Amino acid sequence: MDGMETEHIRRKNYIRGKDPFGVTISNIERLLNAGIKVTVRLNLDRNNIGSIYELADYLIERFAGNRRFNMYSKCLYDEVSKSAFDTSPEQLHFLLDKKEQLDNHLLARRIYDYEKLAPFGYRTYSCAADDPHKVVIAPNGNLCSCECVTPKTVFWGNVRQGITNINLYRDWHKNSLRQKCHGCVFLPICTPFEHCPTDFFFFDCKSRFSYTQKKYISETMRRWNSGELPIGSNEIIDYDF
């Protein structure tokens, strides 16, 4: 989600639909009532900081206490790209500070998606592309395997024709490794895909690992001191289907 009602509707800019914000909130409630876990991503950039913080508090007030509901934040890709850093490192670090404050706020309210918090090696997956059955549909109808749709994303099909490039499709379903990754100490706990578009980001693998590792250790120690179960042990829900 991109902010509170006005900001969310403006950015989504749907052709049809009288109340897209209300429909989204209603659908979240319906999913939760059906016993399905819901994770909301808060899309953050320099122009919606106030609205996204307001949305976070709104969702906390509405869904706090429901163990099936959680949130995490994500900076929009253009805002944290290498070119953004080259243009204005001050603005990029300002946005990263706001993201960390938002993450800390969600952690303090116990509504953070702890699966995202756990660093590589502790997660049950590294990225969406790890699941060969997962398909990502871009706004223009193109198909890919990576949830991080950026200008560097490699598409292998579209919703009308299905798979249009079988070789690219197969690249996401075989063990492959980018040349620059040979010898990296994090292998094989990160994504192995050679078409991974994360080179687009300002972050490198080690800085991303460091950020999540710090958060993971802090939350682990907090739970240890308070006698709570460790991350991963009390986020699993037994659904009655």
Per-residue pLDDT tens over the stretch 101-156:
998 999 888 898 877 766 555 555 566 677 777 888 888 899 998 877 777 788 99
Q: E strand or H helix at 98, and its extent? A: helix 89-108
CA dihedral 194, 118, 111, 56 (to 10 degrees): -40
**pLDDT of 217 above 90:** no
Q: Classify residue 49: in a domain, yes or no.
A: yes
| Whole-prediction pTM | 0.67
- Residue 237: φ, ψ to 5°: -115, 135
**pLDDT of 191 above 70:** no
The per-residue b/e assignment along 110-123, b for 16 or more CB within 10 angstroms, e otherwise, is ebbbbbbbbbbebb
**pLDDT of 73 above 80:** yes
User: According to the model, what pLDDT value does residue 41 have?
Assistant: 92
**pLDDT of 18 above 80:** no
User: According to the model, what pLDDT value does residue 132 have?
Assistant: 74
Q: Classify residue 188: in a domain, yes or no.
A: no
Q: Classify residue 89: in a domain, yes or no.
A: yes
Q: Classify residue 149: in a domain, yes or no.
A: no
C-beta separation of 103 from 114 below 8 A:
no
User: According to the model, what pLDDT value does residue 123 have?
Assistant: 55
Q: Classify residue 21: in a domain, yes or no.
A: yes
User: According to the model, what pLDDT value does residue 86 have?
Assistant: 67
Q: Classify residue 31: in a domain, yes or no.
A: yes
Q: Which of 50-64, 125-139, 141-155, 189-203 has the lowest mean pLDDT?
A: 189-203
C-beta separation of 159 from 178 below 8 A:
no
User: According to the model, what pLDDT value does residue 204 have?
Assistant: 61
As a whole number, mean pLDDT of residues 33-41 equals 92
User: According to the model, what pLDDT value does residue 141 have?
Assistant: 92
- For the chain, the average pLDDT equals 79
As a whole number, mean pLDDT of residues 213-223 equals 81
Token pair of 76 as six digits: 């929009």
Higher pLDDT, residue 28 or 224: 28
As a whole number, mean pLDDT of residues 85-98 equals 78
Q: Classify residue 23: in a domain, yes or no.
A: yes
Strand order of the sheet with strand 157-158? 136-137, 142-144, 157-158, 162-163
Question: Predicted confidence band at 192 (pLDDT cuts at 50, 70, 90)?
Answer: low
Total tally of structural domains belonging to the chain: 1
Domain that holds residue 108: 5-112
Token pair of 25 as six digits: 């909130």
Q: Classify residue 127: in a domain, yes or no.
A: no
